[in-house]
């Protein structure tokens, strides 16, 4: 079984920073791309940032220049450094991994349970 567990969410004032982390564990053979997505109340889940297994990154236009995604291949973690946070960044942030497990051949998307980020004064 594959698990992704996020941490690091919380309440922060506008202009502040937060760092989210996500750790993948379990029956993992290989990890391809990893990424962060978010879902605000009443809105669809949207891409925030992704990083491939060759460290190629992609960001939503709304976070470019403010957020930075990184990963540690040894620890099987992906992190999201969020700076200059705005109230519109408020959402539940989800980690996703494109993972080949040892029990199910092929790459499949696995999701974490989400962590709340609230930007408010």
Provide the b/e sequence for 57-83 (b: ≥16 CB within 10 Å).
Answer: eebeeebeeebbbbbeeeebbbbbbbe
pLDDT in tens, the chain (121 residues): 999 999 999 999 999 999 999 999 999 999 999 999 999 999 999 999 999 999 999 999 999 999 999 999 999 999 999 999 999 999 999 999 999 999 988 999 999 999 999 999 9
Distance CA 88, CA 38 (A): 11
Question: Using an 8 Å Cβ cutoff, are 96 and 3 in contact?
Answer: no
Q: Say what the pLDDT of residue 87 is.
A: 97
Q: Say what the pLDDT of residue 48 is.
A: 98
Number of H helices, E strands in the chain: 0, 11
Q: Say what the pLDDT of residue 36 is.
A: 98
Query: Cα 6 vs. chain centroid, distance in angstroms?
Result: 8
């Amino acid at each position: 079984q594959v698990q992704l567990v996020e941490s690091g969410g919380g309440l922060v004032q506008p202009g502040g920073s937060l760092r989210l982390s996500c750790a993948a564990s379990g029956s993992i053979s290989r990890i391809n791309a990893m990424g962060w997505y978010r879902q605000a109340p009443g809105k669809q889940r949207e891409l925030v940032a992704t990083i491939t297994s060759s460290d190629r990154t992609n960001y939503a236009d709304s976070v470019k220049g403010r957020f930075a995604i990184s990963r540690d291949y040894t620890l099987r973690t992906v992190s999201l450094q969020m700076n200059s946070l705005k109230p519109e960044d408020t959402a539940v942030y989800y980690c996703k991994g494109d993972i080949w497990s040892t029990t199910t051949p092929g790459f499949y998307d696995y999701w974490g349970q989400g962590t709340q980020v609230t930007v408010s004064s």
